Amino acid sequence: MFNLVYNEYFKLIRKKRMFVITLILLVLIPIFTYAQYKTAKNAMEQLGTSDWRAILQQQIVDQQNRLSSSRLAPEWKERIRLNIKQQQYYLDHDINPTAPGAPTFMREFIEGAISLFLPLLVVVLAADLVSSEHSGGTIKLLLTRPVPRWKILLSKYFALLLGISLMLLITAILGYLISGVIFGYKGWNIPVLTGFQMQKEHLITDYVHIVPQWKYLLMAFGLAWFSSIAVGTISFMASVLLRSTASSMGAMLAAVVAGSLLTQIAPNWNELRYIAFINLGLTDYLAGNPILVEGMNLPFSLAVLSVWSLIAIIIAFIAFTRRDVTT
Amino acid sequence: MNRKTFAYLLYSSAIVSFVILFIGFILAVWDLTHPSKSSALAAKKQIPTPQAQEGLFVGLGDSLTRGVGDSKGLGYFGLVREQLAKKNPGRISAVNLAINGQTSTDLVKQIQQEKVRILIAKARWITITIGGNDLFRGSGGLEKLDLKAAKKSREIYEKNLTTLFTEIRKLNSKATVFLFGLYNPFGDLADEKISSQLVAEWNETMQKVSARFNQIVVIPTFDLFQLEPGKYLYSDHFHPNDAGYQRMATRLLQVLEDTEEGEESHDQ
């Protein structure tokens, strides 16, 4: 079994898909880095002063002002208090929050990429995993070996999981190395706020706490890994069901893009939340971003993704083991 | 590197990242589903207390100090702060505690707050605009000026101003306090003479009260807006506009320079 996985993993790598993904990242990350650098520079110009310490001090004071207002809801007060704490930390530790280094870039990159960009890369990686054996004609060679079919498929699946892990590793390393050229390589210990919870319309800040950035990154990448695997698993099913690479990849790309479009077009359509592709943005829960569709939280999204993955894998196995190979 | 070791490296790094990402995922789920307040408390310890600032510039009062009417939102306070920061890079901090629509009675209440008191005690310069809301609200609005009501609210204002300065001096005996005089935003309306006279009386009250304390400077603004109110007032016909705030800032900076130089020569 171990040998089979090893073997399949190298088929995956050798197909140059991973190379293409690395190339895509190599082109896009510098662009994103430059975009972010531009934004930071613009913000600085608008404030009219390059002394970020003065700006931070004023921001803290403004927020303290807001705190003293009696019209402020208590849950916002707690959030502002934490914000002040965060900014005071920047000030005390001489960290410029507008140009805070490569780890922050990685965090923003993964948060932005999790619901569309990463899934697309995963689809590129996974959607032809089995179908390419059909189009390449190698499926017969594969199935005439004295190994049960389910074992072959399982080893392909494990290889995919490893491939996705490697892809995220490459994303992290490239993101760090490239953005660090401009932003510097420091900032692993910057405090990041997490623990926001949504209940109906309200933001619950009772459990908000500060974690160091390295831990936050670990968690964010872990969540990205999970949603990438869910996409990978569904693509895996598509590659079993559809025999041509073009159609399985096309179908999966359409599904991923449609999922991200739908959340923006029809956030009021509540039943959307049972669709896997709506639930890919897991880092939103970590960052406390407002969730567009009502009734979604982390356990819910994890459950939806798990159920879809489970059904996909069952269908994939049934279809693969029962299929007659005629081509 | 030969092909085989490269392949082995790719394989093992995939396995390692698989394990690390799995741990990260578990951590994230654990962190989000088992929220605890203890970590927030632990984080509190590593946040040190704010350091004392070398030159703290504090703004108190109403919408004029807030900067209402300035398209950039700076107001005279923001403009002066920028100038100060330019001259003393990294050594100036500014706190704007002004609240829109505040009257002298509100301000007396505000300076009872603990945070406000701490800031006043630390301040090197305090700038105040107060009285506009007292005058134009307490005198029956813009259309019909009730002279009797105006007199009464002026008496209250005088008392509040005295309390305010007494409190400030109690907290901070060194800081220079600047109080902006009132101007007449209705100088081009029909009742110009009456409203101007009222404003003059109030300005006199300011002078009178301030004279009883040390280091309190009243900065006149009446003349700035007297001849061409339309040019220096915002479209609400009450607050200054960009140019108006610029004029106020220039005045304040002129007086501020003296105190700065005084301080510096004192240090040497």
> Rounded distance, CA A129 to CA A157, Å?
9
Domain span including residue B137: 55-267
Does residue A253 belong to any structural domain of this protein?
yes
pLDDT in tens, B225-236: 888 888 898 877
Residues B33 and B144 in one domain: no
Q: Is the CB of residue A53 less than 8 Å away from at least one CB of chain B?
A: yes
Q: Is the CB of residue A148 less than 8 Å away from at least one CB of chain B?
A: no
- Nearest CA-CA distance, residue A197 and chain B, Å: 9
Q: Do A51 and B85 touch (CB under 8 A)?
A: yes
Q: Which two tokens stand for residue A214?
A: 């390295």
What is the amino acid identity at position A274? Y
Residues B40 and B64 in one domain: no
Residues B115 and B8 in one domain: no
What is the amino acid identity at position A158? F
Answer for the pair A11, A159: CB distance below 8 angstroms, yes or no.
yes
What is the amino acid identity at position A293? V
Q: Is the CB of residue A45 less than 8 Å away from at least one CB of chain B?
A: no
Q: Is the CB of residue A6 less than 8 Å away from at least one CB of chain B?
A: yes
Does residue A69 belong to any structural domain of this protein?
no
Q: At residue B42, does pLDDT exceed 60?
A: no
Q: Which two tokens stand for residue B39?
A: 């970590």
Per CB-CB distance under 8 Å, the chain A contacts of B85 are: 49, 51, 54
Does residue B230 belong to any structural domain of this protein?
yes
Residues B34 and B163 in one domain: no
Residues B30 and B87 in one domain: no
Q: Do A49 and B85 touch (CB under 8 A)?
A: yes
Residues B252 and B227 in one domain: yes
Which CATH number goes with the domain that contains B231?
Answer: 3.40.50.1110
Q: In which element (H, E) is residue B85 found?
A: helix B75-87
Share of chain A above pLDDT 70, in %: 85
| Residue of chain B whose alpha carbon sits nearest to that of A52 | B90
**CA B19 from chain center: how many Å?**
53
pLDDT of residue A122: 93
Residues B31 and B64 in one domain: no
Does residue B50 belong to any structural domain of this protein?
no
Q: At residue A326, does pLDDT exceed 70?
A: no
Q: Around B182, how many Cα atoms within 13 Å sit in the side-chain half-sphere? A: 28
Q: Is the CB of residue A194 less than 8 Å away from at least one CB of chain B?
A: yes
pLDDT of residue A47: 57
pLDDT of residue B53: 46
Residues B16 and B91 in one domain: no
Answer for the pair B226, B187: CB distance below 8 angstroms, yes or no.
yes
How many C-beta atoms lie closer than 10 Å to residue B127's C-beta?
A: 29
Average per-residue pLDDT in chain A?
83
Q: Which two tokens stand for residue B244?
A: 């108006």
Size of chain B in residues: 268
Number of structural domains (chain A) is 1
Residues B60 and B30 in one domain: no
> Rounded distance, CA A256 to CA A300, Å?
19
- Nearest CA-CA distance, residue A282 and chain B, Å: 10
pLDDT in tens, A253-296: 999 999 888 877 877 787 888 888 888 888 888 887 766 677 78
* β-strands B216-219, B176-180 pairing: parallel
Q: Do B115 and A64 touch (CB under 8 A)?
A: yes
Q: Do A222 and B25 touch (CB under 8 A)?
A: yes
pLDDT confidence band for A203 (50 / 70 / 90)? low
- C-alpha torsion angle, residues A109, A111, A117, A122 (rounded to 10): 110
**CA A181 from chain center: how many Å?**
23
Residues B74 and B10 in one domain: no
Does residue A32 belong to any structural domain of this protein?
yes
Of A163, A208, A222, the CB nearest to B28: A222
Q: How many CB pairs under 8 A join A and B?
A: 137
Answer for the pair A182, B27: CB distance below 8 angstroms, yes or no.
no
> Rounded distance, CA B247 to CA B240, Å?
9
Answer for the pair B228, B189: CB distance below 8 angstroms, yes or no.
no
Answer for the pair A212, A191: CB distance below 8 angstroms, yes or no.
yes
Q: Do A61 and B13 touch (CB under 8 A)?
A: no
Q: Which two tokens stand for residue B241?
A: 């506009």
> Rounded distance, CA A286 to CA B29, Å?
9
Angle of helix A102-113 relative to helix A213-241, nearest 10 degrees, comes to 30
Does residue B12 belong to any structural domain of this protein?
yes
pLDDT in tens, B149-170: 888 889 999 999 999 999 999 9
What is the amino acid identity at position A124? V
> Rounded distance, CA A225 to CA A282, Å?
10
Does residue A129 belong to any structural domain of this protein?
yes
* DSSP secondary structure letter of residue B240: B
- C-alpha torsion angle, residues A171, A177, A179, A185 (rounded to 10): 130
Residues B11 and B106 in one domain: no
Answer for the pair B79, B249: CB distance below 8 angstroms, yes or no.
yes
Domain span including residue A112: 2-48+100-322
Q: Do B29 and A298 touch (CB under 8 A)?
A: yes
How many C-beta atoms lie closer than 10 Å to residue A69's C-beta?
A: 9
Q: Do A206 and B35 touch (CB under 8 A)?
A: yes
- Nearest CA-CA distance, residue A68 and chain B, Å: 9
Q: In which element (H, E) is residue A12 found?
A: helix A2-14
Number of structural domains (chain B) is 2
pLDDT in tens, A74-109: 667 777 777 777 777 777 777 666 666 889 889 989
Answer for the pair A12, A160: CB distance below 8 angstroms, yes or no.
yes
The arrangement of strands across the sheet holding B125-129 comes to B92-96, B55-61, B125-129, B176-180, B216-219
Does residue A66 belong to any structural domain of this protein?
no
